[in-house]
Copies of this chain bind each other. A is one copy, B any other.
Amino acid sequence: MFDVVTAPTRAKLADGRDLLFFALPGHRPAPVEDRRPLPPRDPDRSQLRFDRSTGQWVIVAALRQDRTYKPPADQCPLCPGPTGLTSEVPAPDYDVVVFENRFPSLSGAGQPVSLPPDAGFVSAPARGRCEVICFSSDHTGSFAALQQAHARLVVEAWRHRTAELMATPGVEQVFCFENRGEEIGVTLTHPHGQIYGYPFLTPRTATMLAQAREHRRCHGANLFADLLAREAADGARIVARTELFTAFVPFAARWPVEVHIYPNRFVHNLVELDDDERDGLVRVYLDVLGRFDRMYPCPLPYISALHQFADTPAQDDGYFHIELMSIRRSATKLKYLAASESAMDAFISDVTPEAVAQRLREL
């Protein structure tokens, strides 16, 4: 349905970071030289540390204390900078652009990382990749306001980055996400998301894959496909369902607003979605975001997390899906993570998933 553009225009920023332009049909990116006097990058300012009490890696990225924090609109580093002196995107305009984060938690991916926990304090360089993806050169608005063709271009960019980063040595997991709302700590309002290439499998993904392995052992089937089929059969928590995608509030939702979007056909990641499915994803995603925006007088703050898996034996039961979550529990109240959640990982929800699904269906 849409023209597919997969080959980005590549450029470099002044300190050597990669910059990739993804353009709508008929548009031709015209990057200019980045003439800012940027300090050299120092990938060793970030470190992985192994938490022996949980078996999890923690990223210690001290340089992020200095990162850009709520700049005025006329100094937005994500708006196009035609002079090459004012912005992370030295160009008169762009459709969708991806570049390496100037304040990365993870950087310097490219070599295999060996992380052998032994009995002592284990740390390692925080190799990996942190990218910023700008959804539009328009400073205002958000993903929900994108035209379908433009949103599809974002999906193509996500897909391109997923394929390239998954093939990068030392990257174990590719995580595309987008956040909206100062309530959840977004420090730049220009519509953008981020892409992480982690050098380890994240704790949640490892847990989900372990559950899927156990489910296959007991039931001989894919856990996520079973969950999806049960949600579709039950119906009480369905928010939107098309021939290709299903959006639902999960039975055991943890957040005041939580919606999971699955393709009806099993795939591991965006790369495996066919052309029609990429169109279908755009439609259902914009549909869900539109419902979010109609819930309250103000747009709903949210985190949208793309759960992607590699086509490898260890991750074979990983089923691509998007998990959207919001901490807004009413027009005036936010859900804070309290002690049960923060200290014990035991979530307490104030609303029933069925009530939230009904509300979202009716909007």
Which label, helix, strand, loop or mixed, suits the secondary structure of the A interface?
mixed
Contact with B along A212-243 (1 / 0, CB 8 A): 00110011000110110010001000000000
Contact with B along A335-351 (1 / 0, CB 8 A): 11111101111111111
The answer to whether the Cβ of A325 comes within 8 Å of any Cβ in the partner chain is yes
Report chain B residues within 8 Å CB of A178. Answer: 339
Choice from B185, B211, B330, B351 contacting A52 with Cβ under 8 Å:
B211
The answer to whether the Cβ of A27 comes within 8 Å of any Cβ in the partner chain is no
Report the separation of the CA atoms of residues A331 and B49 in the bound assembly, to the nearest whole angstrom: 26
The answer to whether the Cβ of A179 comes within 8 Å of any Cβ in the partner chain is yes
* Stretch of A17-25, A141-149, A199-207, A271-279 lying at the B interface: A199-207
Chain B CB count within 10 A is highest, among A69, A175, A211, A346, for A346
What is the minimal beta-carbon distance from A49 to any residue of chain B, in angstroms? 4
Report chain B residues within 8 Å CB of A208. Answer: 53-54
B49→A251 contact, CB < 8 A: yes
A352→B58 contact, CB < 8 A: no
The answer to whether the Cβ of A250 comes within 8 Å of any Cβ in the partner chain is yes
Report the separation of the CA atoms of residues A299 and B187 in the bound assembly, to the nearest whole angstrom: 24
B177→A54 contact, CB < 8 A: no
What is the minimal beta-carbon distance from A117 to any residue of chain B, in angstroms? 10
A323→B348 contact, CB < 8 A: no
Report the separation of the CA atoms of residues A35 and B121 in the bound assembly, to the nearest whole angstrom: 58
The answer to whether the Cβ of A196 comes within 8 Å of any Cβ in the partner chain is yes
Choice from B179, B204, B227 contacting A344 with Cβ under 8 Å:
B204
B344→A202 contact, CB < 8 A: yes
Given contacts A305-B339, A305-B344, A346-B198, contact A329 B251 (CB under 8 A): no
What is the minimal beta-carbon distance from A50 to any residue of chain B, in angstroms? 6
Report chain B residues within 8 Å CB of A202. Answer: 340, 344-346
Report the separation of the CA atoms of residues A56 and B202 in the bound assembly, to the nearest whole angstrom: 17
Q: Which residue of chain B has the shortest Cβ distance to A353 in the bound complex?
A: B60
24 residue pairs from A and B, CB less than 8 Å apart: A52-B227, A53-B224, A53-B250, A54-B208, A55-B211, A56-B345, A56-B346, A60-B252, A61-B350, A65-B330, A65-B351, A69-B333, A105-B340, A119-B226, A179-B339, A184-B337, A185-B338, A198-B344, A202-B345, A204-B346, A205-B344, A207-B345, A303-B339, A345-B345
Q: A119-B219, A179-B339, A205-B344 are in contact. List 17 more A-B contacts (CB 8 A).
A: A49-B251, A53-B224, A58-B254, A61-B348, A62-B355, A65-B329, A120-B230, A175-B339, A178-B339, A196-B340, A202-B344, A203-B344, A203-B345, A303-B338, A303-B343, A304-B339, A345-B345
* Top 9 A-B residue pairs of the complex, sorted by shortest distance between their CB atoms: A185-B336, A305-B343, A51-B252, A202-B344, A203-B345, A177-B339, A49-B252, A202-B346, A58-B252
